[in-house]
Amino acid sequence: MNRVGICYAYWTRDWDADFVPFVSKVAGLGFDIQEVNSGTVTNMPNADPDRLKAAAARHGIELTFCIGLPQAYDVAAEDATLRRRGIDF
């Protein structure tokens, strides 16, 4: 089975959005996966990641995580120091 997903950012330009309301929308449209900003998740108050996880479980949605790295952390850079910095980050 080929699982199909969508990033929450399809509906907003706010990188630090509340991802929970998008879970039911993603499920209702027939997607299997919702991609969310990992930087936002790591900075959420303690109960919020659990709330997101519970919403995803209720709707049968798998969560995947992305992050937009600044150029100083470019893991695809030719410069090995930049690549290492990105990996360490």
Which residues of the chain fall below pLDDT 50? none
pLDDT given for residue 67 in this prediction: 84
Q: What is the pTM of this model?
A: 0.77
Domain ranges of the chain: 5-88
**38: helix, strand or coil:** helix
Query: pLDDT tens for residues 54-79?
Result: 999 999 999 999 988 888 899 999 99
